Structure 1
């Protein structure tokens, strides 16, 4: 019963979110999965680490696919996402915790900057 309520809440949260809020959710989800991947690598639970890395790969692919090409900065975002995806895959294959941490740091910077941009947009709008 409680699980159904949680799922309903999460579904409603996603379906009523603005594109900016959805992007923030993706950033936060990626950070959560990267932390789990890092823990998996530390514990030598490579299957778990791989599964979490695959989830982050899916998030990066979604972020890349939904970029709006009408803004010049989109090419820079795409390049960064592409780099992060490459480093994530390398880290997953090589069991390189430093590569995972690098991607985690980049996602943290993106998330924090995005949150700040959302606040500024709210204040101006």
Structure 2
């Protein structure tokens, strides 16, 4: 199972690295997701193996891979940098900034926040400026 997990991680990492010049990835630690010790170890191993493969493929292909601290990526606005007062529930799939009025899908906003934190310019990602999501 570990070999299968590592192989899948390497294949995914290779595809991502080939398709992008610079990559921003959450430095995610999944300890709170699993309820049992065995499940926690499996989740840690899977994410760790995938992150390691991503870093290795980035180095091998000469791409920049930035690890971004995961705190508040879903609460910050990618356009103006303002932070919401409360955590968004997972059922809420649209992010709306109360400061600048930007409205976009939650996942796209988080991805753009990670790009900004990594020092990359999110304009041009998906060929759309950050204000229009």
Using the size of structure 2 for normalisation, the TM-score is 0.34
More helix by share: 1
Higher strand share: 2
TM-score by length of 1: 0.35
Q: Which has the higher contact order (CA 8 A, sep 6+)?
A: 1
